Amino acid sequence: MLDIDTFIEQRAELANISCRTFIVTVFGDVVSQHGDWVWLGSLIEILQPLGYSERLVRTSVFRLVKEDWLEVKKVGRKSYYRLTNSANSHYLKAAKRIYSADTRLSENNWCILLPSFVEEPKLSLLKKQLNWLGFSAISAGAYAHPNFDQTSLDETIKELDLADSVVVFSANTIGDKSANVLKKLVDLKWEMPALQQRYSLFIETYNEIAELIRSGVSITDHQCLSLRVLMVHEYRRILLTDHELAEDMLPPDWKGHQANQLVESLYAKFSEPSCQYICSTLQSIDGPLAPPNKSFFKRFSN
């Protein structure tokens, strides 16, 4: 029978999850829903079951502060951390996709962005931000998204002060032949077979946990928190390369649908026990972390 503690500890290594990036997921998935600040000791406690040492956690947090992902406040001898404003902006954009129900559109309304007058280093920052939003390079110097979030794109362009440096088009294909050629291009540029395989492996991995839960095996509140954040982290990494294509652009038997349903189902099972652990054990500046805010209960409901 699958051993939960072994699964949790080995998963971070098998999935090649760095401590630094996992901490960002902890803040996005957990801390953001229970207030802003969390004590470093609580972070160490969350990450210990995954095999991350106290020293590694401290080093990773220090680097995230240097990289403007986290800010620190010292109260006495204790250090507390929260997402910076820019990091929180990244989280909110990503959260719209991570915690949404799988509702594919019947057709694509393509957004094409040309960074015509963007110079380095802003070009590198723009490319990174576009990747977060689900854009891909469809040809040299052109970035495309099949069903873009206008608000998030506008916010990104404003944050980087590029309103006078980029050209944004709204476009659709004309005729069936053009649509078929576009689908071939999407398969190539978006690497759809590889994405399908990543979803399949994710489903296989977390179906083991779903089957264990169905069998009635007892899972502790702390284990539920570890499994919840692990699952969200791995799912998010796949979503960064899934560009919300309409149904007619997807391969047959698209595994993204099944993955979304699995995440939604397991997240619902992990939510209550993980929140019990969070509120009873983890510490913020003002004491125990607060109960989850209203937005937490809206995850996967849209």
The pTM of the full predicted model, rounded to 2 decimals, is 0.84
| The CATH number fitting domain 4-86, selected from 3.40.50.300, 3.30.450.40, 1.10.3720.10, 1.10.10.10 | 1.10.10.10
Answer yes or no: are the C-beta atoms of 118 and 264 closer than 8 Å: no
Q: What is the pLDDT of residue 151?
A: 82
Asked whether this chain's domains 4-86 and 109-171 adopt the same fold, the reply is no
Residue (of 267, 257, 256) closest to 229 by Cα position: 267
Domain borders along the chain are: 4-86, 109-171, 190-281
- The domain made up of 109-171 is a member of CATH 3.30.70.240: yes
3-state SS string over 223-238?
Answer: HHHHHHHHHHHHHHHH
The first and second tokens of residue 202, run together, are: 């994710």
Mean pLDDT per 10-residue section of the chain, whose length is 302 residues: 87 91 96 95 95 96 96 95 93 87 69 91 88 81 82 88 92 82 81 92 96 92 97 93 80 90 96 96 94 91 70
